[in-house]
Amino acid sequence: MAAIAAARSESDLLDAKGRFFGKKGAVSGILKGVAGLPVEERKAIGDLANRARAELESAFDARLAGIREQERGRSEGRERIDVTLPGRAPMPGHRHPVSQTMSDILSAFRRLGFSVQCGPDVETDYYNFEALNFPPEHPARDMQDTFYVESGTGDLVLRTHTSPVQIRTMERRKPPVRIIAPGTVYRSDSDITHSPMFHQVEGLAVDRDITMADLKGLLTEFCRMTFGPTTPVRFRPSYFPFTEPSAEMDIRCVLCGGSGCRVCKESGWLEILGAGMVDPMVFGFVGYDPEEYAGFAFGMGIERIAMLRHGISDIRLLFENDIRFLSQF
């Protein structure tokens, strides 16, 4: 009885049971010995021994139930859910700096009277190049290092710019046209200011009496809205097959303030867009009369603008998806 009472766990208790009731156990020994007793003692000793065994067995069963009950209580205590503890708040996300910049740019142009148009990422050679006055084999095609898509016909590309949306829009509509076209574009480019996949916003305005002064005025106003009224901007002559004359627009490097750094390649300026007056050849492809209408177009790189706004020195940071970097914006 003392051994049963002293057992602290189920295995202690089974040990004790083995010692008394096992083949060579004390109780088993007594029960076996009863048979060898003189007849007159056999009945009395036998009764006593059986009673003792029954008492021990029921003490054993009671202790076993008690130990199991205790263990259940202990594990329930360990596993209990405290419904009064505060929950774990999910980390709130926010828009990627490229998406933020994109939507700011779109809303600036919407306020300036432009509406949004989209086009496909996988384009035909005709829309990406030919209708934009890049004839086959023309050296201007080398300005954009193109990813070609295996298509059997050999004329599909991942669009290298958003300019094909100009053609798609003018094919569908008569002037006046005032659209912007945001989207993803692809080039085989990779360094601290160029990535193989990036974003552009295209702009196109066609109407009677549109001049280069309208283009300069619009883009200067856009830069004021996006970079603040005091950021210096400049226009440089440039070349695109689908605009004539063509220009590129730079803003003062916000990382070095113009003194020269790795990002602006020591020039103090960062190119943000290409632009120009729509070439009459392009109007020929879409059936607009160049004697009646004139237009301007521009295309800007969104990553470049996000980098300038936030002082980011390497374009690749925008695509590595390191939360420590992204959570700063």
Residue ranges binding ligand FA5 (CB under 6 A)? 144, 161, 163, 187, 189, 194-195, 198, 200, 202, 240, 243, 271-276, 297-301, 303-304, 315
- Return the SS3 of 143: helix
Tokens 């142009």 label which residue?
109
| Least distance to ligand FA5, CB of residue 98, Å | 10
How far out from the chain centre does Cα 11 lie? Answer: 55
Spatial separation of the C-alpha atoms in residues 34 and 28, rounded to whole Å: 10
**CA angle, 249 then 219 then 314, to 5°:** 50
Spatial separation of the C-alpha atoms in residues 154 and 119, rounded to whole Å: 20
| Least distance to ligand FA5, CB of residue 143, Å | 6
| Least distance to ligand FA5, CB of residue 204, Å | 8
DSSP 8-state assignment for residue 92 = P
Task: Considering the complex, state which of residue 53 and residue 310 has its C-beta at the smaller distance from ligand FA5.
Answer: 310
CA atoms within 13 A on the CB side of 157: 22
| Least distance to ligand FA5, CB of residue 315, Å | 6
Q: Which residue number places its CB atom closest to ligand FA5?
A: 301
| Least distance to ligand FA5, CB of residue 242, Å | 6
| Least distance to ligand FA5, CB of residue 267, Å | 14
Spatial separation of the C-alpha atoms in residues 299 and 242, rounded to whole Å: 12
Q: Which of 220, 213, 218 is nearest to 180 (CA)?
A: 218
Task: Considering the complex, state which of residue 17 and residue 187 has its C-beta at the smaller distance from ligand FA5.
Answer: 187
Task: Considering the complex, state which of residue 60 and residue 182 has its C-beta at the smaller distance from ligand FA5.
Answer: 182
| Least distance to ligand FA5, CB of residue 313, Å | 14
Task: Considering the complex, state which of residue 63 and residue 187 has its C-beta at the smaller distance from ligand FA5.
Answer: 187
Task: Considering the complex, state which of residue 4 and residue 183 has its C-beta at the smaller distance from ligand FA5.
Answer: 183
Task: Considering the complex, state which of residue 13 and residue 183 has its C-beta at the smaller distance from ligand FA5.
Answer: 183
CA atoms within 13 A on the CB side of 73: 6
How far out from the chain centre does Cα 245 lie? Answer: 40
Spatial separation of the C-alpha atoms in residues 116 and 129, rounded to whole Å: 22
Task: Considering the complex, state which of residue 4 and residue 282 has its C-beta at the smaller distance from ligand FA5.
Answer: 282
CA–CA distance from 46 to each of 34, 39, 52, 60, 106 (Å)? 6, 11, 10, 21, 102
Judge whether 25 and 18 are in contact, CB under 8 Å: yes
